[in-house]
Amino acid sequence: SQQGEEDPQALSIQEGENATMNCSYKTSINNLQWYRQNSGRGLVHLILIRSNEREKHSGRLRVTLDTSKKSSSLLITASRAADTASYFCATATSGTYKYIFGTGTRLKVLA
Amino acid sequence: DTAVSQTPKYLVTQMGNDKSIKCEQNLGHDTMYWYKQDSKKFLKIMFSYNNKELIINETVPNRFSPKSPDKAHLNLHINSLELGDSAVYFCASSKTTGTSETQYFGPGTRLLVL
């Protein structure tokens, strides 16, 4: 089964609200990345958090990582209509070259 | 300038045909990837090349054959196309093979097999 699973599958919020999405994974990881995919486009890297980090910020993004629970969350503060996209977590299992992507959270921000 | 480009963007073809998708990156990266994204948006790695050498070869039917003529190009040839091959295929690149590397994705090739 897939390594990363995002929750919720879909999320609809009003502009200005915060959006939180979660990712759970199964095995030990080196790091975890979050990517955004706008409709009909390729994925764009947002942020990477290493296994020895607990929290990381980048602009309006805040990512947390709890390796004991094998989970991560992505918080987008003060959301904008332009944040409407699918968000994927990607985990890199220790000792491998490859990232495993989850099925994503589809975020819709209503203006 | 487009960092990772793919051609064609759309591909509609009949079952049983053979088709190729091309990918080029101008980022000077050593590592390139092919991913398949199905209708449920699940993104699965298929292949990865590092400096023209195959390093990841997932459980993919041998009808799929990647080819890397140089480290800036990674093509995907698919023989005897089947209905289940319909998906979006993404090419990506990263500086090296390290799993701390950011992957840069192309715009995708939407393949529809009729």
C-alpha A56/C-alpha A50 separation (Å) is 9
CA angle, residues B105, B40, B93, in degrees to nearest 5: 15
Interchain proximity B102–A96, CB inside 8 Å? no
3-state class of A82 per DSSP? helix
Find the residue in A nearest to B101 (Cα).
A48
Give the model confidence (pLDDT) of A7-58 as tens digits: 889 999 999 999 999 999 988 888 999 999 999 999 999 999 999 999 999 9
Alpha-carbon gap: A43 to the closest alpha carbon of chain B (Å): 6
Q: What percent of chain B has pLDDT over 90?
A: 83
Structure tokens at A104: 């994503």
A66 Rama sector, left if φ>0, alpha if ψ -120 to 50, beta otherwise: beta
pLDDT tens digits for range B32-85: 999 999 988 889 999 999 998 998 888 789 999 999 999 999 999 999 999 999
Work out the minimum CA distance from B30 to partner chain A, whole angstroms: 13
Per CB-CB distance under 8 Å, the chain A contacts of B103 are 35, 43, 45, 90, 99
CA–chain centroid gap for A110, Å, is 20
- Residues of A near B (Cβ–Cβ under 8 Å) read 2, 30-31, 33, 35, 37, 40-45, 48, 50, 86, 88, 90, 92, 96-101, 103-104, 106
Most B CBs within 10 A among A99, A106, A107, hence the mutation to make, goes to: A99
Cα A66 from Cα A54, distance rounded (Å): 6
Q: How many CB pairs under 8 A join A and B?
A: 59
